[in-house]
Chain A
Amino acid sequence: MLGCYKVLDLSGRLGWLAGRILADLGAEVIKIEMPGAALDDAEWRALNFNKSLVQLDTANRINKSLIERMFATADVLIETASPGDPADDWLDPKCTLALNPRLIHVSITPFGRQGPRAGWRGSDLEIMAAGGAMSLAGDPDGAPLRVSIPQASSWAGAHAATGALVALSHRSAGGQGQHVDVSAQASVVAGLAHAPTFFDILGETPSRAGSKITGRSVHGAVYRAFWPCKDGYINFVIYGGPAGRRTNKALVSWMGEKGLELGPLGEIDWDTFDPKLATQDDVDRIEAPLRAFFNTVSKSEFLDGACSREMLGYPVSTVADIAADPQLQARGFWRDLTNPDGSKERHCGSFYIADGSRPQFQKPADEAA
């Protein structure tokens, strides 16, 4: 879809996904890397596939001039230069936009290029902390936690791609290029769902509830989300609404088929049950019989059974579970590529299907890296 556009990707880790998204959407993305960069790193390869690679020492004046000449024909520039670092002055948007007023210059930094903490350092951990995500993850009695697979750069990259395309749309409608300033910290806030609204409207501060789910009851009742099963955990929550009612009825029926004790579950009229009005006592009573049920199923048994019964709920997957998921196979999600040395790599394919087919990678492995 973006086949007529050229993207220069000078980014570090914070920007890799942005370029990958634009490449998946069809743009020609040229990844510029320093000689000696760790190109075999799984993170680098996963997020820089589908781009062309040019290795240049950007500290070299001649190479800088070469890249600056590339600005003239580029539509989008993605960079992650540190604000205020004199070595990165040449990537100041004032300079790049002077060279090419039609350029969409995307800067991605931990905290944005402007503001009192623009120059602060932040890795994944600090950015997830600054964006509020850690305050919502972890046991209430333990430390706030991050996701062990780093997330902040992906949030920043996904925002950057969207910001670039909003700016590109303006240019396509007759406008000029401009600077797109992406803050990874602010990007993380998007993943907090509606948690900020509780503070804003009611003065309540949602906080980490461990493996329980909060924010679903006007009485503050918390619902269990994770249930030990035969080979791991299942995520199942007593919900309301049409899908919740259908799920709750199907679960009771499934438990009946297994001959399990229903206890209070058998007495509830699910058509009138409303989880947002339940007290903690109500919730505890309802949830008590569920533990025995989940002990009888494996992750895959639950996934298949819940699917056939049109129930809400999913197993807690590992990467191994995901790799074996027939749903992804059926949709042609994976892309198998052969490296120049003959080794195989399995990558996540393009993130969307257009008019019934998933776009192929533009660059075979031996050209891309």
Chain B
Amino acid sequence: MSAAPQALADLKVVEFGGYAAGPHIGKMLGNFGATVVHVESHTHPDGFRLEYPPFKDGIPGVNRGGCFAFFNDSKYGVTVNVKEPDGLAQARQLIDWADIVIENMRPGVMARIGLGYDEVRQTNPELVMLSTCNMGQSGPRAHTPGFGSQLSSLAGFCGATGEADGPPMLLYGPYIDFIASLMGCSAALAAFDQRRRTGEGTWIDISQYECGLHFIASALLAYHRDGTIAERDGNRDPEAAPHGAYQCRDGCWIALSCWSDDEFSALAETLGSPHLAGDPRFATIESRRSNTQALEEILADTLRERDVTVIAGELQRAEVAAYPVNTIGDLFTDPQLDARKTWRRRKHVEIGEQSYLMPAFDLSATPGDICHAAPLLGGDNDKVFGEFLK
């Protein structure tokens, strides 16, 4: 555990559920010192433990999953069988101990097993419970099951990604889950703050779908104003030109954009083609937008001869926005992410050394940490039931 002061050191959290949307909330709270207990059972371990690679050495195993570990660092792991009376009693004990319960079951499941908010508040009236699911707890499709990777389609993200004349594109994983987990984390902390002041508990109902819509709120408002439908348009932008990604000599890509004629002049100068700024086809934003194809071809030909890191630095010195398109591997060597200690390696009993991701906010007085690697299935039963609940 970190020796630094922790912002949430007095906060106790219990999680029921699995995959990303619920556990990512507890992980962030754990990173800032909350005591977080992740509840599973031997018959129903978290789906990320066995259903999703990568596994250590490519061999599946309940404690070998890097995916599960990635979203569950800084937590304690317990197993409870809520289908047995003793297990249900243990779950109630945990909830009575907790300040915040996070659950991402389908709506009604917690109530069906006797752990719904109305039931558990009888013995823990100050409890903050956060329920997060695809559609929220109510509405005609409340009980629809769903994964975030597909919900990202329903919420408009995939349809807004891709070339204008091509199919929609995936955003790799359950993109929208992490929007909802961030916003849910804010709601849980706000409810906990209110409880600290008033002694009142709260039940927060998070629809991952609705949270995601806040990330396209301007496109929705534009549609409601005048019927404008936001369409996928490659990397083009309605204001900037050029605005795109170009492959460099080393096979890497660079993203760059010019938001003014001065920036385009600086780009042209840096690329050794100052005449482009005076070319009537490219002299103004409007003309560059009218001659996008020609400009794109010139930039592609020019940048194909450049090294991505070198040209990114040169463009930044010329005050042009530019950055290498980081691959997933590049993220581990990016000097800026490194300076912020974005990745922190911790040793997991079966997986070994693994890099965990710190949240993107640094706190000056209570900096937070990856407190420890993810738990084994039921690995902290003795500690949690023998010490925390004693």
Contacts and interface: CB of A to CB of B under 8 A. Distances in A.
In this complex, the member of A144, A216, A326, A331 whose beta carbon has the largest number of chain B beta carbons within 10 angstroms is A331
Interface in B154-169: 154-163, 166-169
Interface size class of B (residues with CB under 8 A): 35 or more
A132 B328 contact: yes
A352 B213 CA distance: 12
A56 to B, nearest CB: 24
Contacts of A268: none
Contact of B217 (A166, A169, A348, A356): A348
B244 A143 contact: yes
B208 to A, nearest CB: 10
Contacts of A1: 187, 190-191, 193-194, 202
Interface string B1-32: 00001011111000000001000100010001
Contacts, number: 533
Contacts of A176: 365
Interface string A110-132: 01101111101111111111111
B336 A139 contact: no
B235 interface: yes
Contact of A312 (B52, B145, B236): B145
Given A193-B173, A239-B147, A320 B223 contact: yes
A319 interface: yes
Interface string B316-358: 1001111111111111101111011011000000010011011
Contact of B257 (A125, A168, A178, A346): A125
A319 B329 contact: no
B328 A312 contact: no
A46 interface: yes
A233 B162 CA distance: 13
B213 A348 contact: yes
B60 interface: yes
A16 to B, nearest CB: 10
Nearest to B143: A310
B140 interface: yes
Contacts of A331: 136, 138-139, 207, 210
A30 interface: no
Contact of B168 (A167, A172, A208, A226): A226
A322 B233 contact: no
In this complex, the member of A156, A160, A207, A226 whose beta carbon has the largest number of chain B beta carbons within 10 angstroms is A226
A180 B54 contact: no
Given A189-B331, A352-B206, A355-B203, A170 B222 contact: no
B149 A237 contact: yes
A149 B56 contact: no
A163 B142 CA distance: 30
B10 A173 contact: yes
A211 interface: yes
A276 B161 contact: no
Interface stretch (A58-66, A195-203, A256-264, A286-294): A195-203
A154 interface: yes
B135 to A, nearest CB: 6
Nearest to A158: B182
Interface in B23-66: 24, 28, 32, 47-48, 51-56, 58, 60, 66
B197 interface: yes
Contacts of A111: 336
Interface stretch (B76-84, B85-93, B224-232, B268-276): B224-232
Contacts of A42: 218-219, 221-222, 225
8 contacts: A134-B253, A155-B360, A189-B357, A196-B332, A226-B158, A314-B150, A319-B216, A331-B136
Q: List the 3 closest pairs (A to B, CB-CB), nearest first.
A: A193-B173, A163-B361, A115-B339
